[in-house]
Amino acid sequence: MSDIFAGIKAIIFDLDGTLIKFKLDIIGMKKEIIRRLLEFKIPKNMLSLDIKIADMIKISKEYLLKSNRKDLALKVAPLVFSIADKFEVKAAEVSELIDDAKLVLKGIKGIGLRIGLLTNNVKLATNIVLKKHDIAKFFDIIITRDDSQSLKPDPAGLRLILSALNISPKEAIFVGDSVIDAHAAKEVGVLFFGVETGLHNRDDLQRENAVMVFSDLKSLLKFVIREIKK
């Protein structure tokens, strides 16, 4: 076994852009979120389509708390998530597996590693995807937005997975397609492997301290098997 895989007991995967093509109307979702948040009298210049949804929640809550409107501040996250739920379910119903995703999950399971899944999606949409593509059977632990109220890049979800598997950060690898996945891994001390199957490219992922970046999932599997056998 190579130095990278010495002591590794589990590989944790992101979902959207890593294992599935999730055709989420992110612009439409953000527009609806902004429209509804403006009804809370959040200044228009504080919200834009360029802001991450997690940041929209944070900005809006902080503004309302400073304005002594705690009752509305408490409603921000539930409102945003209810809108996201609707868009995510629609996307889940027309999702597609990324090439070789099932082959990779089966291969990693076959060499004795445990597998976790961490997604910012709501549980309902996640379950639709898992059932549609028959991949739930590969995961030892699945953490969705319903299980961890903090979204990536917050590392709370990763910590929940490590705890459930009873392993330390040094015993896991997180695989994802975006810089928020990389940030979460870095915060908790888990090695991060990037894949160019979704949101960000090799340069983006390497800038965020990805240990390895793979052009596709099959290349990841070949690397894992080769390193495990060393």
Q: For the segment 188-217, what is each residue's pLDDT rounded down to a tens digit?
A: 999 999 999 988 888 999 988 899 999 999
At residue 200, the pLDDT reads 84
Of all helices (H) and strands (E), which one includes residue 25? Answer: none
Beta carbons of 99 and 218 less than 8 angstroms apart: yes
Q: Break the chain into its structural domains and give their ranges.
A: 10-21+97-229, 26-93
Q: Which two tokens stand for residue 160?
A: 């929940």
Q: What is the pLDDT of residues 95-104, one digit of tens each?
A: 999 999 999 9
- Cα 202 from Cα 92, distance rounded (Å): 26
At residue 199, the pLDDT reads 81
Average pLDDT value over all residues in the chain:
93
Backbone angles phi, psi at 214, to 5 degrees: -115, 145
At residue 7, the pLDDT reads 87
- Cα 113 from Cα 107, distance rounded (Å): 9
* Selection from 214, 149, 148, 133 nearest residue 176 by Cα: 214
CATH class of 10-21+97-229: alpha beta
At residue 22, the pLDDT reads 84
At residue 23, the pLDDT reads 86
Collect the ranges in the chain with pLDDT lower than 70: 1-2, 149, 230
What's this model's pTM, rounded to 2 decimal places?
A: 0.88
At residue 1, the pLDDT reads 57
Q: Sign of dihedral through CA atoms 69, 72, 76, 77? A: positive
Q: What is the pLDDT of residues 172-191, one digit of tens each?
A: 999 999 999 999 999 999 99
